[in-house]
Structure 1
């Protein structure tokens, strides 16, 4: 059926918001069939059209479905909330906006009401690039009751312990507050993974990054952390830089992992390749 715009109201942001929804080919053939949902998150300076216009997401999705590498699914290309250069999909410490609440309590319920989704954890997944890679992981690790899997492509997989003084003088301090404070800890991917690994219910994680990417050190460091604490995951390294050629080119690896998660067969651990 292709991609269609879907408008809804966000009470968290008190604004009308828009996302783009891909409906699989068989969607109109039966009024009873329900589908898993993948939420695609854009990066810094992007918007809800980025994955479709710049990342050729629709063509990739259709190719993977045709080959059986991804079951027919609803794919939602979302906005991060549209504030500043990027919201990182979290509630900001300084009160600028409740962007996690918008995602969890406005966007997802609207999609589940309007479309025939399988509205449970094991059939709901996140996938994002760069800032959206962080958003994918932080939303999943903070809300394992909502998301069965999360994938990051060249993600900004941040920990406050890795932030420089110059970095903290940017909008990041408005998001996370005092770097040593409890609010910042709740948005730290290292802290969240260490917390979740002790629990029976935790999201399956996939991430990949180009070796020439400026964010590659963050990804390799996160890989080392997950290895150290024993968090099951899939990590891949490829040649490539921080650009759409890489993002769109390695969306298939992320979606194949999500398919295995839907099937209940995501690997307990896959070493770097």
Structure 2
């Protein structure tokens, strides 16, 4: 009897301690972990199975004191037409931080269109946008993507490839962060570009920078006036040199409405621009290129021809056209 009592007491004690342990055990964490921000590099390795016409190159940046990477796509005629100079389209990637390899998935439709003679040949350069993707950070000489592009990469390309080394043969294009930058840099430096195609840009963020003393968010502040809204106001006062703009966006993308708002803003300033709205496309450069790559490429090609044959300061606006 006494032995039974001892066993019962031991069982009860074990059960109680187990219950206490169960109660005091840390609850399982259910919060999803955020994806880690990739480490920024000025030179990034090419992914496997990239398009064979792409080449990865670097140039020495004097301002940074390091090499900077870029990816270049030469047209099929480049090696055979050895006396021909070609226009250049600089493609600005989306997302942060920068990498020259982010948008190279677009190389196939671009190259195929040139190979099939559907559009005139051009060189495409995929740019590394720097730590904050195509922005220069005030008071930080090592975090400048915009000026490394405009002041160093462009001269390097003109010096090392057979380019039309003039704004009449130079275009700029990008998507998302790159779309914002396409508008921002072409508005600020119309002396560099005759053609600009801005895809899916976050103009609500640019508007916030304009209205909130340069702050995109509490931890990120840019130079005053360095945004697509203030720069458009400044350009509207002179409208020269003439840049021909296109804005394209998918109607299912999260930046669709703010793109419409920005286009209305450009209309109010009488800044002409062509428009592409892709039905059913989300916030995806690939989806938009699947539907409209040839239209976008022909836009640049027509602007190169037009800018090469007319007075660069003629002030003649391009007619607004909406393509669907």
Pair in the same fold by TM > 0.5: yes
Deviation of 1:43 after TM superposition, in Å, equals: 0.6
Q: Deviations over 1:111-134 (max 9, x none)?
A: 111101010001100010100111
Query: CA–CA distance in 2 between the matches of 1:35 and 1:248?
Result: 22
Larger Rg: 2
Alignment of 1:94-113 (within 5 A): 94-95=139-140, 97-113=143-159
Determine which of 135, 142, 146 is the counterpart of 2:188. 142
TM-score calculated relative to the size of structure 2: 0.72
Classify 1:244/1:104 alpha carbon distance in 2 versus 1 (closer, same or farther; 3 Å): closer
Equivalent position SS for 2:103: helix
The aligned runs of 1:70-109 (5 Å cut-off) are 70-81=119-130, 83=131, 87-95=132-140, 97-109=143-155
Distance verdict in 2 for CA 1:163–1:247, change over 3 Å:
farther
Deviation at 1:5, TM superposition (A): 1.2
The 5 A counterparts of 1:1-273 are 2-45=53-96, 47-52=99-104, 55=105, 57-81=106-130, 83=131, 87-95=132-140, 97-157=143-203, 158-159=206-207, 160-161=209-210, 167-171=216-220, 173=221, 176=222, 183-185=223-225, 187-197=226-236, 198-238=238-278, 239-249=280-290, 250-264=292-306, 267-271=318-322, 273=324
* In structure 2, C-alpha distance between the alignment counterparts of 1:215 and 1:253, rounded to whole Å: 21
Deviation at 1:99? 1.9
Q: For residues 130 and 61 of structure 1, what CA distance do their matches in structure 2 show? A: 19
Cα deviation, 1:202-245, whole Å, max 9, x if unaligned, reads 32111111122111122111110111111110112122211354
CA contact 1:153–1:254 (8 Å) conserved in 2: no
Shift of 1:163: 6.7
Could you say which residue in structure 1 is the equivalent of 2:311?
Answer: none
CA distance in 2, matches of 1:47, 1:212: 26
> Counterparts of 2:125 and 2:286 in 1: how far apart (Å)?
21
Q: Which runs of 5+ in 2 are unaligned?
A: 1-51, 308-316
Distance 1:17 1:132 in 2: 18
Aligned-residue RMSD, C-alpha: 2.4
Q: Which has the higher contact order (CA 8 A, sep 6+)?
A: 1
Closer, same or farther: CA 251–155 of 1 in aligned 2, 3 Å = farther
How many correspondences in the alignment? 256
CA gap 1:77/1:131 in 2 versus in 1, 3 angstroms: same
Provide the TM-score with structure 1 as the length reference. Answer: 0.85
Structure 1 distance, partners of 2:253, 2:305, is 32
Gaps of 5+ in 1: 177-182
Q: Distance in 1 between matches of 2:154 and 2:245?
A: 20
Give the conservation status (yes or no) of the 8 Å contact 1:127–1:254: no
